[in-house]
Amino acid sequence: MIIIKNLQSLQSSIDGVINSLEKMNYAKGTIKAQQNVFNSLLKFMETNKIKNFNKEIGMDFIHSRTGTDMKGFYGTGDKKTNRYMKPIQNLLDFIEKGKVTFQMRSKISDFQCPEAFEEEYNLYQDEYEERHYAKATIISHNRILRKFLYFLNENDITSSEEITYSHLTEFLSKYDKAKPKYIATIISNLRSYLSFLYHNRFICQDVSIHLPKVRIMRNAFIPHSWKTDDVKKLLKAVDRGAPKGKRDYAILLLIVHLGLRVSDIRALKLSNLNWNRKTINLNIQKSKQPLELPLLEDIGWAIIDYLKNGRPETRSDRVFIRHRAPFDAFGENESFYRELHRYMIKAGLEIPLDVHCGMHSLRSTLARKMLEAKTPLPVISEVLGHQNINTTSIYLKIDLSGLRKCALDPDEVFEQ
Q: How many domains does the chain have?
A: 3
CA–CA dist 299, 296 (Å, integer): 5
Last residue in a domain, options 31, 64, 97 = 97
Question: What is residue 393's predicted lDDT score, i.e. its pLDDT?
Answer: 54
How far apart, in whole angstroms, are the C-alpha atoms of residue 324 and residue 312? Answer: 9
The answer on pLDDT for 407 being more than 50 is no
Q: What is the pLDDT of residue 387?
A: 62
- 159 and 260 in a single domain? The answer is no
User: Do residues 258 and 137 both lie within one domain?
Assistant: no
pLDDT, mean over the chain? 84
Q: Which of 124, 98, 101, 103 is nearest to 113 (CA)?
A: 124
pLDDT for 390 equals: 58
Instruction: Flag the least confident range among 52-66, 325-339, 389-403.
Output: 389-403
Is the pLDDT reported for residue 252 higher than 60? yes
- The predicted structure's pLDDT at residue 408: 42
- The answer to whether residue 32 is domain-embedded is yes
φ, ψ at 274 (rounded to 5°) = -100, 95
The CATH number linked to 191 is: 1.10.150
In this structure, is residue 272 part of a structural domain? yes
In a domain, 154, yes or no: yes
**Of the residues 179, 210, 241, which one is the last residue of a structural domain?**
210
pLDDT tens digits along 62-99: 989 888 887 777 666 678 888 898 899 899 989 888 88
Spell out the residues 6+ positions from residue 375 whose beta carbon is closer than 8 angstroms to its own.
none
Judge whether 337 and 358 are in contact, CB under 8 Å: yes
pLDDT at residue 406 is higher than 60: no
Enclosing domain of residue 62: 7-97
| Model confidence, pTM | 0.67
DSSP letter assigned to residue 290: E
Give Rg (Cα) of the chain.
26
1 domain residue, yes or no: no
Structural domain includes residue 220: no
**Residues 58, 29 share a domain:** yes
266 and 151 assigned to the same domain: no
**Residues 68 and 135 grouped into a single domain:** no
Same domain, 205 and 238: no
With respect to residue 185, please indicate whether it lies within any of the assigned structural domains: yes
Comparing 35-39, 181-185, 189-193, which segment has the lowest mean pLDDT?
Answer: 181-185
Distances (CA, A) of 97 to 24, 51, 82, 85, 266: 16, 21, 22, 18, 24
pLDDT value of residue 78: 76
Give the model's confidence band at 413: pLDDT under 50 very low, under 70 low, under 90 confident, else very high.
Answer: very low
- Quick one: pLDDT at residue 404? 47
CA angle 189, 150, 73 (to 5 degrees): 110
Q: Between 400 and 190, whose confidence is greater?
A: 190
Using 50, 70 and 90 to split pLDDT, how confident is the model at 153?
Answer: very high
Confidence of residue 350 (pLDDT cuts 50, 70, 90): confident
Tell me the C-alpha distance between 216 and 91, whole Å.
49
Whether 255 and 386 map to the same domain: the answer is yes
Q: Of 153, 182, 210, which one is at a domain's C-terminal end?
A: 210
Residue 72 sits in the same domain as residue 137: no
The answer to whether the Cα torsion of 27, 28, 29, 31 is positive or negative is: positive
Task: Give the pLDDT score at 204.
Answer: 93
pLDDT at 275 over 70: yes
Residues 329 and 287 in one domain: yes
Does some domain include residue 327? yes
Residues 139 and 287 in one domain: no
- Judge whether 335 lies within some domain: yes
Number of helices (H), then strands (E), belonging to the chain: the values are 18, 3
Q: Are residues 357 and 396 in the same domain?
A: yes
What is d(CA 182, CA 271) in angstroms, rounded to the nearest whole number? 38
- Give yes or no: residues 128 and 268 share one domain: no
Which CATH number does the domain housing residue 233 bear?
A: 1.10.443.10
